[in-house]
């Protein structure tokens, strides 16, 4: 059949309302004609009919049909471009001088003819699909094509089609919104800054938000989690299964494969760019509230799902193999994509709150910060599943929101009240509630300075107290560390002097109760060093309780004298090496340390934090404690660490002078370096003279 007869036949079919199964055949014929017709008027006619054909657009179609239509022009553009490149390679002569074999339209004329077909008889959203397909197809074969004159024509026509579609589309038409978002998401990277500036961002942002979060082509308002709960089946006395044949799993799989969610990363960056450039600040507030509502709904849906009751460490016990290897990983892949996308959107909103005058106003800034933190809290169960591994976008969004909110003490107190543990004073049994506790502790730590002592006690200390002695459970280790950090932040706040004196004995008792069996030596040393900082000058606690630091050091010293000398299990040996002499040493040169050795190292760690008088008092006592260690390797390790603290740069000038005076003229060198082997090389302070009048500079 000739091309003209085939064109006439196709046009007749396009004017009828054919069955949906005929669509692929019609589009295949259209692709063949688009790349073979040599009359630009016929190409314009065919394009115009395709964009308005009842056979293609009379019935509501899924967004996948729009993607197929976009792919039609994508494939046609690639084929025409490849044909022109091949013609140039085979026939380097000018077009008029080539032998006449078969005439084809030059690429520029073909593109112009297609654009002319996007006329007033069809929807602007369909125009965007057509021109977007051309742009993506040509850019994939010719990276610099979008910078040419023809590329400029395409970009201008595409932006015009998108803006016109945003203006004319009904607010409730989800399919039309998807047909706008789909080509824009694919073609956005090919637009120049000037083209992007011409987009109507104020109309675009609501369309992007509703299409991505709520439409049937997007994330469906997070209700897919509720459907999954109804189809969990008990297959044994302990195990549950979520079948891959269940409708809920098929729904989640279809969401992941949908045209928009399969490219959720670029789509979230498009939304973030739109948030950056909207003119109406109210739209940013609306977007943040929309994200907060979606996140809350997602968290509620997860809380009501039986899967949320199973900790990650217990999945092998309570979940069937199919659920562990097939269905649940698919769900977590979707949830991870949602987390990353929402964080990227919120990052732009928070940045606008920092740099935009209207959004930084007192009535807007704390509202944005609270909504952002609520969103991150409701998504914290996904973040925990990732292993609490932070990334730069999340860190900026989280910490900036805290910084904004911390400027408003009243709103900060209200926010902390709203996210405080539901069962203060005890560890909840539900994993999701423990995730919320972890988020609360990590967040509340930053507000200790602006809360009153009563709030610090009722909110922060009450929430952290049950976790202070739970380090033996590896699943609770992140919450355990957060609880200690919160407690120390409360003690560090200057307004909490009386509160510190009241609760510090209980905290010290908790430290000694969990070490060394449930607390690693590294954690114990770090916690105690921070505690000494809290009770040492220039803190107000040191003024109110001047003997507190000395009392704590005496407790550790007395325990070191009586502590066991057997090596601790390997998991409790310090993982970091501080002495420069040990940086290049093999691991075998670091001995297994006993509880006694760790306590001596703890005393040494505290030197840079002590007051001048207390430092002068503790230097000889700690040196004597180091000499009490019976194991030679452990003792030498402690001596090296003692030396590193003295010369490693942690001391300020006043404390350094005390150390030099003690070392050179008050018997410090002899007290520390008394060894079984008299011929052992000496440690000498900078400026000291050795036995052979040889200067050994160590600083």
- pLDDT higher than 80, residue 614: yes
Neighbours of 215 (CB within 10 A): 20
Instruction: Tell me the mean pLDDT in the region 433-443.
Output: 95
Check residue 312 and give its pLDDT.
Answer: 86
Residue 17: its pLDDT value, please? 66
At residue 437, does pLDDT exceed 60?
yes
DSSP annotation of 47 reads H
Q: And the tokens for 633?
A: 């390797």
**Mean pLDDT (the chain, rounded):** 87
> Are 307 and 228 a contacting pair, CB within 8 Å?
yes
Instruction: Please choose, from the candidates 467, 442, 445, 440, the residue with its C-alpha nearest in 3D space to the C-alpha of residue 456.
Output: 445
What is the spatial distance between Cα 33 and Cα 35, in angstroms, rounded to a whole number? 5
Q: How confident is the model at residue 208 (pLDDT cuts 50, 70, 90)?
A: very high
pLDDT of residue 679: 42
What is the number of other CB atoms lying within 10 angstroms of the CB of residue 316?
10
Q: In 3D, which of 584, 600, 611 has the Cα closest to residue 638?
A: 600
Least confidently predicted of 235-244, 253-262, 452-461: 235-244
pLDDT of residue 698: 44
pLDDT at 35 over 50: yes
pLDDT at 599 over 60: yes
Count the neighbouring beta carbons within 10 Å of the beta carbon of residue 492: 18
Which range is least confidently modeled, 420-434, 595-609, 651-665, 685-699?
685-699
Q: Of 682 and 490, which is predicted with more confidence?
A: 490
**Residue (of 76, 59, 201) closest to 129 by Cα position:** 76
CA proximity to 462, closest of 436, 483, 431, 480: 483
Give CA–CA dist 542/548, Å, rounded. 7
Q: What is the pLDDT of residue 528?
A: 93
Cβ contacts of residue 547 below 8 Å, gap of 6+? none
Question: How high is the pLDDT of residue 21?
Answer: 65
The residue among 171, 152, 161 whose CA lies nearest residue 200 is 161
C-alpha 353 chain-centroid distance: 20
Segment 536-546 mean pLDDT: 87
Q: Which position has the higher pLDDT, 529 or 519?
A: 529
Residue 570 has pLDDT above 70, yes or no: no
What number is the average pLDDT over the span 164-189? 92
pLDDT at position 578, please? 40
- The predicted model gives 649-670 an average pLDDT of 92
Nearest 5°: the CA angle 542, 546, 548 is 85
Distance of CA 55 to CAs 27, 129, 466, 633, 647, Å? 11, 17, 67, 86, 83
Residue 137 CA, distance from chain mean position: 33
Q: Where are the beta strands (DSSP E) in 69-221?
A: none
pLDDT at 516 over 90: no
Say how many residues make up the chain.
699
pLDDT for residue 293: 97
């Amino acid at each position: 059949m000739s091309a003209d007869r085939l064109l006439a036949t196709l046009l007749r079919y396009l004017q009828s309302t054919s069955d949906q199964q005929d669509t692929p055949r019609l589009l295949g014929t259209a692709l063949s004609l688009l790349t073979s017709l040599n009359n630009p008027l016929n190409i314009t006619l065919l394009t115009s009919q395709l964009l308005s054909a009842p056979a293609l657009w009379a019935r509501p179609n899924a967004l996948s049909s729009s993607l197929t239509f976009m792919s039609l022009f994508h494939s046609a553009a690639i084929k025409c471009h490849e044909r022109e490149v091949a013609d140039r390679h085979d026939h380097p002569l000018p077009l008029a001088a080539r032998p006449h074999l078969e005439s084809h339209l030059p690429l520029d004329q073909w593109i112009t003819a297609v654009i002319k077909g996007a006329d007033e008889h069809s929807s602007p959203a369909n125009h965007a699909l057509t021109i977007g397909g051309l742009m993506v197809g040509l850019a994939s074969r010719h990276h610099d094509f979008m910078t040419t004159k023809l590329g400029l024509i395409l970009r201008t026509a595409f932006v015009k089609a998108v803006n016109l579609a945003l203006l004319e589309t009904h607010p409730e038409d989800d399919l039309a919104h998807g047909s706008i978002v789909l080509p824009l998401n694919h073609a956005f990277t090919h637009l120049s800054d000037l083209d992007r500036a011409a987009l109507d961002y104020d109309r675009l942002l609501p369309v992007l938000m509703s299409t991505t979060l709520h439409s049937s082509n997007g994330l469906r308002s997070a209700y897919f989690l509720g459907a999954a709960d109804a189809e969990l089946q008990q297959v044994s006395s302990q195990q549950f299964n979520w079948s891959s044949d269940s409708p809920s799993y098929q729904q989640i799989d279809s969401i992941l494969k949908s045209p928009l969610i399969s490219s959720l990363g670029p789509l979230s960056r498009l939304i973030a760019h739109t948030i950056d450039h909207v003119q109406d600040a109210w739209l940013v507030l609306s977007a943040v509230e929309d994200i907060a509502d979606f996140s809350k709904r997602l968290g509620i849906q997860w809380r009501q799902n039986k899967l949320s009751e199973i900790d990650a460490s217990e999945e092998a016990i309570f979940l069937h193999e199919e659920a562990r290897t097939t269905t649940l990983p698919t769900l977590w892949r979707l949830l991870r994509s949602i987390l990353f996308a929402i964080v990227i959107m919120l990052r732009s909103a928070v940045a606008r709150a920092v740099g935009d005058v209207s959004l930084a106003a007192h009535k807007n800034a704390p509202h944005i910060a609270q909504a952002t933190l609520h969103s991150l809290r409701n998504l914290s169960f996904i973040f925990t599943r990732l292993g609490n591994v932070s990334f730069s976008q999340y860190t900026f969004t989280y910490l900036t929101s805290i910084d904004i909110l911390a400027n408003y003490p009243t709103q900060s107190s209200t926010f902390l009240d709203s996210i405080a543990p539901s069962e203060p004073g005890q560890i909840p049994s539900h994993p999701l509630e423990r995730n919320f506790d972890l988020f609360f502790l990590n967040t509340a730590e930053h507000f200790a300075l602006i809360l009153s002592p009563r709030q610090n006690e009722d909110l922060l200390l009450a929430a952290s107290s049950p976790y202070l002695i739970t380090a033996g459970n590896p699943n609770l280790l992140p919450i355990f560390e957060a609880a200690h950090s919160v407690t120390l932040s409360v003690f560090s706040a200057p307004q909490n002097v009386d509160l510190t004196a009241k609760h510090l004995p209980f905290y010290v008792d908790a430290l000694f109760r969990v070490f060394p069996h449930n607390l690693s030596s590294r954690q114990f040393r770090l916690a105690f060093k921070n505690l000494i900082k809290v009770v040492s000058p220039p803190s107000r606690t040191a003024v109110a309780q001047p003997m507190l630091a000395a009392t704590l050091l005496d407790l550790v010293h007395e325990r070191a004298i009586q502590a066991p000398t057997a090596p601790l299990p390997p998991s409790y040996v310090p993982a970091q090496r501080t002495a420069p002499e040990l940086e290049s040493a093999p691991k075998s040169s670091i001995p297994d340390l006993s509880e006694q050795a760790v306590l001596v190292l703890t005393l040494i760690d505290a030197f840079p934090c002590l007051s001048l008088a207390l430092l002068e008092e503790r230097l000889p006592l700690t040196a004597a404690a180091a000499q009490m260690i019976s194991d030679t390797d452990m003792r030498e390790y402690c001596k090296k660490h003692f030396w590193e603290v003295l010369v490693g740069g942690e001391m300020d000038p006043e404390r350094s002078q005390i150390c030099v005076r003690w070392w050179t003229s008050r018997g410090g060198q002899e007290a520390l370096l008394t060894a079984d082997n008299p011929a052992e090389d000496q440690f000498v302070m900078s400026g000291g003279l050795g036995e052979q009048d040889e200067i050994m500079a160590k600083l």
